[in-house]
Homo-oligomer: A and B are copies of this chain.
Amino acid sequence: MQLLEDRIRRDGKVKEGNVLKVDSFLNHQMDVRLFREIGKEFKRRFAGEEINKILTIEASGIGIACVTAEEFDVPVVFAKKTQTKNIAGDVYTTKVESFTHGRVYDIIVSREFLGEGDKVLIIDDFLANGKALEGLAELVKLSGAELVGAGIVIEKGFQIGGDLIRAKGIHLESLAIVESMNDQTGEIVFR
């Protein structure tokens, strides 16, 4: 998606340790005009697919998911991150390892809002090692719903997540795939 790649090149900041900061427009300050274009692009890429629910994860996926959901005219459900040990039986839950924060957390979705008959599109802002996306896919599986695909705004193509998800046969659409980036020069190369 050209508009997105241009924006990442203009406002993204490459930091040491393969960090791409896009918090001026994507995940701290949020440019909702760009989100609308992102939503339309997801709608185009999953055209013809039957989708009745969008699943995302708190916090930074929620804005993109909501704007995208209007394009599909479906509700959003967001998975909650929790470190609570005793989860009540009325939720689906799985564990996700966060490399960024160096810890394992539980993600949960209420059984009320995901289940058999649901055709689910997962939306998230980033795909790197794929752990969050695997966790969301696991929640869909546990619920008996059908996973139609996953739409990602920025995929770090040099990390394992994309290959891992595609190898599972999941229909993955990433709007910008970063092939490489250089924290010395600030250069970003897209696939």
Contacts and interface: CB of A to CB of B under 8 A. Distances in A.
A59 B58 CA distance: 6
Contacts of A28: 77-78, 80, 109-110, 113
A75 interface: yes
Interface residues of A, number: 31
Oligomer: number of copies: 2
Interface string A21-48: 0011100111111011000000000000
Chain A contact residues: helix, strand, loop or mixed: mixed
B113 A77 contact: no
Interface of A: 23-25, 28-33, 35-36, 58-59, 62-63, 65-67, 69-70, 73-78, 80, 109-110, 112-113
Contacts of A109: 28
A102 to B, nearest CB: 12
